[in-house]
Amino acid sequence: MNSWANHMPQGMHLKSEGFASNLYEPGGKFTLENYCAENSIPYAHIGLPVAIETFIAYGREFQRRYVPEVENVQITSLVESAGQFE
């Protein structure tokens, strides 16, 4: 979410509608709609633009719940070598 938080203009809205702005987890239960309901944030499947700040907060909460062990590093190069990435 750092790229979204640090390189997108404040006040921006996603081009995708609410129903198309979910992050994937196998149970399919932590949708943007559910996140907004938990946090009293207005939400609509269609017709209500998703604020970048809402999407960033949703992404960070998603990461906290489902991938808490993420390393906070910046990738500067990625090369495939013998079927692995370096």
pLDDT at 3: 83
**Token pair in block for residue 75:** 């990738």
pLDDT at 86: 87
Amino acid at 47: G
Which residues, 6 or more positions from 58, have their beta carbon under 8 angstroms from its beta carbon?
23, 32, 35, 36
**Token pair in block for residue 2:** 């750092």
State whether residue 64 is helix, strand or coil: helix
Q: What is the pLDDT along the chain (86 residues), one digit of tens a residue?
A: 888 888 988 899 999 999 999 999 989 999 999 999 999 999 999 999 999 999 999 999 999 999 999 888 888 999 999 989 88
For the chain, give every domain's residue range.
Answer: 2-85
Q: Are 46 and 18 in contact (CB under 8 A)?
A: yes
pLDDT at 62: 96
Write the Ramachandran bin of 59: left for phi over 0, alpha for psi from -120 to 50, otherwise beta: alpha
